[in-house]
Amino acid sequence: MAFQRRRQKERRRIPWFSTATLVSGAAVVLLALLALVSFLGPPLIDHPAFPSSGRHVLSSSTPPILKIIGGSGDDSSESNLWESKLSRNYQGCSEPSSEFAAGSTTYSSRFLMIATNGGLNQQRTGIIDGVVVARILNATLVVPKLDQTSFWKDSSNFSDIFDVNWFIESLSKDVRIIKQLPRKSGKASLYPWTIRVPKKCTPRCYQNRVLPALLKKHVVQIKKFDYSLANKLEKDLQKLRCRVNYHALKFTGPILEMGNRLIERMKMKSKNFIALHLRFEADMLAFSGCYYGGGEKEIRELGAIRKRWKTLHTSNPEKERRHGKCPLTPEEVGLMLRALGYGSDVHLYVASGEVYGGEETLTPLKALFPNLHSKESLASREELAPFSPFSSQMAALDFIVCDGSDAFVANNNGNMAKILAGRRRYFGHKTTIRPNAKKLYSVFQSRGNITWEEFASKVRSHQRGFMGEPNEVRPGRGEFHENPSPCICEISGVLQDEDDDDPEDARMHSRNRLLARN
Q: What is the pLDDT of residues 395-422, one digit of tens each?
A: 999 999 999 999 999 998 889 999 999 9
**Cα–Cα distances in angstroms (integers) from residue 144 to residues 141, 157, 390, in the given order:** 8, 9, 18
CB 354 within 8 A of CB 281: yes
CB 287 within 8 A of CB 302: no
* pLDDT, tens digit, 9 for 90 and up, residues 185-230: 555 556 789 999 999 999 999 999 999 999 999 999 999 898 999 9
Q: What is the pLDDT of residue 321?
A: 81
Rounded CA-CA distance 440/442 in Å is 6
Q: Does position 100 have pLDDT exceeding 90, yes or no?
A: yes
3-state SS, residue 193: strand
Angle between helix 120-137 and helix 235-243 axes, rounded to 10 deg: 130
Pairing of strands 219-222, 193-195: parallel
What mean pLDDT do residues 464-486 have?
A: 86
Q: Give the residue from 302, 335, 350 showing the smallest Cα distance to 455.
A: 335
Q: What is the pLDDT of residue 151?
A: 61
Residues 6+ apart with CB under 8 A from 366: 372
Q: Does position 71 have pLDDT exceeding 80, yes or no?
A: no
Amino acid letter at 499? D
3-state SS, residue 43: coil
Query: Interior CA angle at 435 toward 244 and 339, to 5°?
Result: 130
Q: What is the pLDDT of residue 158?
A: 96
What mean pLDDT do residues 99-112 have?
A: 86
Query: Interior CA angle at 157 toward 483 and 232, to 5°?
Result: 25
3-state SS, residue 408: strand
Residues 6+ apart with CB under 8 A from 231: 200, 479, 480
Higher pLDDT, 93 or 326: 93
Q: Is 267 exposed, middle or buried (0-12, 13-18, 19+ CB in 10 A)?
A: middle
Assign domain 98-251 one CATH number from 3.90.550, 1.20.120, 3.40.50, 3.10.105. Answer: 3.40.50
pTM: 0.81
What mean pLDDT do residues 471-484 have?
A: 85
**How would you classify residue 357: left for phi > 0, otherwise alpha for psi between -120 and 50, otherwise beta?**
left
Rounded CA-CA distance 116/225 in Å is 5
Report which listed range, 34-38, 163-167, 190-194, is most confident.
163-167
Query: Interior CA angle at 117 toward 172 and 400, to 5°?
Result: 65
Please, which pLDDT band fits residue 106 given cuts at 50, 70 and 90? confident
- From-to residues of CATH 3.40.50 in the chain: 98-251
Question: Which range (21-35, 254-268, 294-308) has the least confidence?
Answer: 21-35
Average pLDDT, the chain: 81
Please, which pLDDT band fits residue 73 given cuts at 50, 70 and 90? very low
Rounded CA-CA distance 136/223 in Å is 18
**Cα–Cα distances in angstroms (integers) from residue 184 to residues 33, 178, 191, 194, in the given order:** 93, 15, 12, 21
Rounded CA-CA distance 196/112 in Å is 13
What mean pLDDT do residues 68-92 have?
A: 67
% of the chain with per-residue pLDDT over 90 = 53
Rounded CA-CA distance 507/247 in Å is 33
Please, which pLDDT band fits residue 61 given cuts at 50, 70 and 90? very low
Please, which pLDDT band fits residue 239 given cuts at 50, 70 and 90? very high
Please, which pLDDT band fits residue 114 given cuts at 50, 70 and 90? very high
